[in-house]
Structure 1
Amino acid sequence: MHNTITMYEQNSDIISTLPLELLLYIISFIPFDSARLTPFVSTRFRFVWSQALLVAHSLNGSIEAISRFIHNFDEHDPSKNTRKLELHLDKSTFVSTILAPNNVMHMSFVYGGSKEEDSFCWRIQTQDQIPKRVESRGFLVKTLCLDSVYSLTHEVVSSMVLDFSLLENLKICGCKGLTSLTIDSPSKLLHLSISGCTKLRYLDIRSTKLKTLHYQGFLPSIKIHEHFNLTNAVFDVRQGPNYCNNALDIGPLLLIIKNSQSLTLCRWMFEELINPSISSSWTSFQFYKLHDLRWIDNSMKQENINSLISFLKFCPSIERIFITIDTNTYSSKEETTVNDYYGRKHARVLRNLKLVKLEGSKSEEGKNQLILALQEVVDINQPLLILSSFP
């Protein structure tokens, strides 16, 4: 009986005995979301999934093969529905392209050079006109994720983006040589995310439809050419500024985040840029629609808490506050004082605040000081939940 069970167990995994070519053919019929789970189906499939891609070589460093790969894609044709392409530009550099579900395309550049990447300026422009008809063939890109684009490939990528007439979501990360970026999408782009571009000093945005802007890294000089109303704005600039003195015109930036419902902000950005502008020019400025605030700071010192309270007085509709304490967060070298005259004169009771969550701070004293400070601006009849956690 024992031997019979053993033989059955040995022969039960019939799929693993099939030739690699046949396994790849089977995968080609499976939807992507299911196909990527095949490593859990069979021991053999663990290796098959990593090989279910096209490998090509470029003789002249061109990435035109990627355009052909996108254009020829046909989800219903097993011979054309491969979703991964690895294009080798030379012995040490290649581009990985993945066509994911929901019209998402990932492009990741792996640069094998030993020298530091050359600096470059980049302009990305999208088609302004809506196509009269959408081609039934090919892969339609609505979300584009670009990782580690470098000086020798950025122009080709820009020309490729021009063909993505339905592009709504653009994510750029890890472009270490990028110093200046221009986004020119007058009426199409809805979501823009930029992170890990450590040399970026200038960011120009020309758009009227942008709804979300996520920026992570050193804060560059940002120029807004057209007005648009963001609903979600993230400025995770805990690394500090990366622009020359007075090179950032905060006025247009304030206008696009004024109606945000969700906002991520560092204390230093409020103290150095936002508060001076509001105090001197816009005495009636309010974040009327702001519901969720994510506040990044380096400590819970009393003066830091005072800055947070000053900011909250501009947010009459705030409901949730998430405070992240990161000791490596940039802080002004010169002592900055927050003018709270407007806050004292027009202090509004926070009647909608329901939750405050503090992360990364082990200081009970800081937490208690925060609670005392909040009592000055929170409606005493409003139940308030305060949570804290740290690694």
Structure 2
Amino acid sequence: MIMGDKKLDLISNLPDEILRRIVSFLPLKLAVRTSILSTRWRSLWMPSHVNLDFHLGYDIAHHEINEEVMQIIGKFLGSYNAHKLWRLYLGPPEIEKSSSIAEDELTFLATMGVDKELHLDFSEGRQMRSNFNLNLDLTCPGLGSHATTSGSFASLKTLHLRSVTHLAENMAPTLFSNCQLLESLKLVNCTGLQCLDINVDTGLKSLIVMDCQNMADITLSAPNLQTFMYRGVLPQFHLKNVSCLVDAMLDFRDGPGDSHFDCEDLLSLLASISNVEILTLSGWLLQLDLISSLPDDILRRVVSFLPLKLAVGTSILSTRWQSLWMPSHVNLDFNLGNIARHETNKEVMQIIGKFLGSYNAHKLWRLYLGHPQSGKSSRAEDELTFLATMGVDKELHLDFSECQQLTRNFNLNLELSCPDLGSHAKTSGSFASLKTLQLRSVTHLAENMVPTLFSNCQLLESLKLVNCTGLQCLEISVDTGLKSLIVMDCQNIADITLSAPKLQTFKYRGVLPQFHLKNVSCLVDAMLDFRDGPGYNQFDCEELLSLLASIANVEILTLSGWLLQWLCSSGMIFSRLDFQFNNLKELWWIDSLIDRPKRDSLSCFLNICPLLEKLFIDIDQKRKCIDCPFFHHYWHEPHLWMDYTAVRSCALQLNHLKIVKMVGLTNKEDELLLMDLLLCKAISLKSMIVTSPENHSWRVLKIPGSQLKQTSRGQRKHIAIASQGKEYFYEYIEEDSSRLCPAHEQMCL
């Protein structure tokens, strides 16, 4: 209460008796906390002390607990209307006590709270410590048994046992075996406790075991347990029926102790708590590399449940792991006779259909298609051998690179249109459920086999073709759910025709072919890495305009710099096109160098990217340098090939550009001018990062010459580079930019 400017502490003005009465209604844990309020409050929480000395004769050493203890402790818990602190002594009569039998005396403090909680502390006595086991069976008893104990501990909810000794080995189970409402159990500093066995089929939700130095074994069955916390040495665990566990602490700060380290037991422990949401774990336990200590057969079984890409990734862990991911090998040699004429028959379909009969583990099959063994030498070029690897996530990889037949040019036509019901029913047992297909080094011998096998993959979402050297024309027509198409390093490819209404990602790397992209309105991510140049195809400006128009709605784009240079040189004026890249948010420009034509052509292209937010410029001198030919055109961008002032004046503002990263810069004049252009036109720029060929990164600031010394103060590592007229400087401040990468970086390595 506040009266005027004075604060009145009405609670502290009450007599101690009333304060004790108030505190007695608090749960014991909260009541103890009031002791920190002031000196007066230190003892107000403490319950009244009552000392009871009673005698059970000399049989206390034999742990024979009789009805007298039950009756007295029953009275102790007769009501929950106030805190109570009782001191109980169990041992021989005082007149018969002697030093020789002092170890048979048991003294403990029993503290009771109002919230149906009981704390038993056995640390007051100074008995000799002996190892013992503690077995608490809190399963539901019969009605008669429950009735006899209803007046004692039947309604207990919280039990805290501290420093339990061997003298209480039988007393504790006898007293608390019928605590059917117990929700929380805590055992602390029970030094001699070796084996703890708790069997509960009721509502125990929390179990805490801490600092029991000699603990060797914990067996626990508690279907409703939610929290389990352990601290101390590492014992053997047997956790059963703990499916509700969500919070676990395994703090083995005292190491493995004297128990034998068993990898199988620890894996079983981790498996039993695998559904938890919160976990505390000792680091040294993970350092032991429990997984690698398992036998190879078990490791292969574990890896078999991973998606194929992740399973292959485990091969880098160590020499032993290099082959663990690999599925079992099955060699099948069968003869088609007319394989050279690509007449694939039902025999192939049946065998490959069995190969994909189940997805419960990785499989690696080696298939040979050719002539009988007796006639192999004469027509080796007609033999087809390939590896088929299947993953658990409905993925299939076919690798034709094992055979070394003569490469011939061929075409590949995949039509994944919806079949009629009868056709779908016939193929439902083979590839109908396939989601991911990767084809590597496909040859002319598989020209007809591949379309025949996969024409009815109606659920296919991802298709990848890699290193198909003889492939000249690729035609894919899909009216189902294909979302991703990747074509990489097919050296002789000349034409790609694609129709895929749901395609979202298209990535291409290699020579520049002719593109015919139809019905790709959902495309949001495109990579056109023409690192190998135009190949043997004639450069056609109109076809490339059609390609750019078909991908104009993408949000992420990778583009070869030489392509923009050739387009501008051949007469294209970007500002006069009837389309723009209005959705483009990230552009990755890649080439072997930046010179004046490449700088200016990039500037022209940026004029049709009004919403661009991230620009990555990657200069790698290891890339092939594509020289621009002479084009017989006399029109082009109005400012193209003029001086830098004209280029800068014609460049539009980049209102949304926030991040620029330039990799491989060597501080040549054209690079610096491009940097200056971007700093000038990107009015919302937050960060410009430049990285040297040696992979050193700096943040770039444009500083007037008069302010250079002032801004450089306090910077530990910086470099200042003068502009062409020395009117200002580019200040490089060292900065880590390893996390700032384009979306397609992994693809272009």
**Aligned equivalent of 1:161:** 454
1:173 counterpart = 2:471:
no
Measure how far apart 1:41 and its partner are: 10
Describe the shift of the 1:37–1:360 C-alpha distance in structure 2 as closer, same or farther (beyond 3 A): closer
Aligned to 1:329: 625
Equivalent in the alignment of 2:637: 339
CA distance in 2, matches of 1:225, 1:282: 23
Aligned AA (1:66): I
1:55 aligns with 2:340: no
TM-aligned CA distance change 1:320 to 1:179, over 3 Å: same
Which residue matches 1:102? 393
2:496 touches 2:515 (CA, 8 Å); kept in 1? yes
Please tell me the residue identity of whatever aligns with 1:312: L
Residue number among 690, 693, 716 corresponding to 1:387 in the alignment? 690
How far the C-alpha of 1:180 sits from its partner, in A, is: 1.0
Specify which of 533, 538, 554 is matched with residue 260 of structure 1: 554
In structure 2, what is the equivalent of residue 31 of structure 1? Answer: 305
Shift of 1:346: 8.0
Aligned residues: 371
Partner Cα separation in structure 1 for residue 671 and residue 648 of structure 2: 23
Supply the RMSD in Å over aligned alpha carbons.
Answer: 4.0
Aligned 8 A contact 2:384 2:445 in 1: no
Quote the Cα distance in structure 1 between the aligned partners of 2:448 and 2:429: 27
TM-score by length of 2: 0.44
CA shift for structure 1 position 82: 4.5
- Between stretches 219-228 and 271-280, larger displacement belongs to 271-280
- The answer on whether the counterparts of 1:233 and 1:260 sit within 8 Å (CA) in structure 2 is yes
Secondary structure (helix, strand or coil) at the match of 1:140 reads coil
Cα 1:180/1:363, change in 2 over 3 Å: same
CA distance in 2, matches of 1:227, 1:165: 18
Q: Relative to 1, partners in 2 of residues 1:382 and 1:226: Cα closer, same or farther, differing over 3 Å? A: closer
Q: Aligned pair in 2 of structure 1 residues 68, 24: CA closer, same or farther (>3 Å)?
A: farther
**Offset of 1:141 from its aligned partner?**
1.2
Q: 1:338 to 1:305 in 2, by over 3 A?
A: farther
2:363 is matched with which residue: 79, 83, 95? Answer: 83
| DSSP-derived class of the 1:53 partner | strand
Q: In the TM superposition, what whole-angstrom CA distance separates every residue of 1:324-354 from its partner, at most 9, and x where no partner exists?
A: 2233232312279851469989854212222
Distance in 2, matches of 1:280 and 1:38, equals: 48
Match of 1:120 in 2: 410
Say which SS state the counterpart of residue 32 (structure 1) adopts.
coil
* Deviation (angstroms), 1:272: 2.9
Say whether the 8 Å CA contact 1:74–1:138 is kept in structure 2.
Answer: no
- Aligned residues: percent identity? 25
Which ranges of structure 1 fall in alignment gaps of 5 or more residues? 1-7, 76-80
Alignment deviations for residues 200-237 of structure 1 (CA, whole Å, 9 cap, x no partner): 11111122222211111111111234352421111100
Question: Which of residues 232, 241, 254 in structure 1 aligns to 2:525?
Answer: 232
User: Which among 61, 67, 73 is matched to residue 353 of structure 2?
Assistant: 67
Match of 1:358 in 2: 662
Structure 1 residues 248, 218: CA separation in 2 closer, same or farther (over 3 Å shift)? farther
Q: How does 1:252-331 map to 2 (within 5 A)?
A: 252-273=546-567, 279=573, 282-327=576-621, 328-331=624-627
Q: Secondary structure at the match of 1:58?
A: strand
Distance 1:49-1:145 versus aligned 2 partners, 3 A rule:
closer
Q: Which moved more, 1:311-320 or 1:353-362?
A: 353-362
> Conserved in 1, the CA contact under 8 Å of 2:327 and 2:363?
no
Structure 1 residue 16: Cα displacement: 9.1
Q: Which runs of 5+ in 2 are unaligned?
A: 1-259, 265-289, 371-375, 377-382, 641-646, 695-749
Report SS of the residue matched to 1:222. Answer: strand
CA contact (8 A) 2:658 2:682 kept: no
Distance 2:506 2:355 in 1: 30
User: Structure 1 residue 176: deviation in Å?
Assistant: 0.5
Q: Name the aligned partner's letter for residue 104 of structure 1.
A: E
Write the distance in 2 (CA, Å) between the matches of 1:344 and 1:331: 25
By relative contact order (CA 8 Å, sep 6+), the higher-ranking structure is 1
Matched, 1:204 2:497: yes
Match of 1:382, as an amino acid? L
Change over 3 Å in CA distance of 1:98–1:229 after alignment to 2 = same
Question: TM-score when scaled to structure 1?
Answer: 0.79
Q: What are the Cα deviations for residues 141-170 of structure 1, in whole angstroms up to 9, with x where unaligned?
A: 111111011001121111111121101211
What displacement does 1:321 show? 1.3
Check the 8 A contact 2:478/2:499 in 1, yes or no: yes
Q: Deviations over 1:47-81 (max 9, x none)?
A: 665462333223236654323201x1142xxxxx4
> Which structure: larger Rg?
2
Matches of 2:685 and 2:675 in 1, distance apart? 14
Question: 1:136 and 1:161 mapped to 2: Cα distance?
Answer: 12
2: distance between equivalents of 1:17 and 1:262? 44
Aligned residue number for residue 251 of structure 2: none
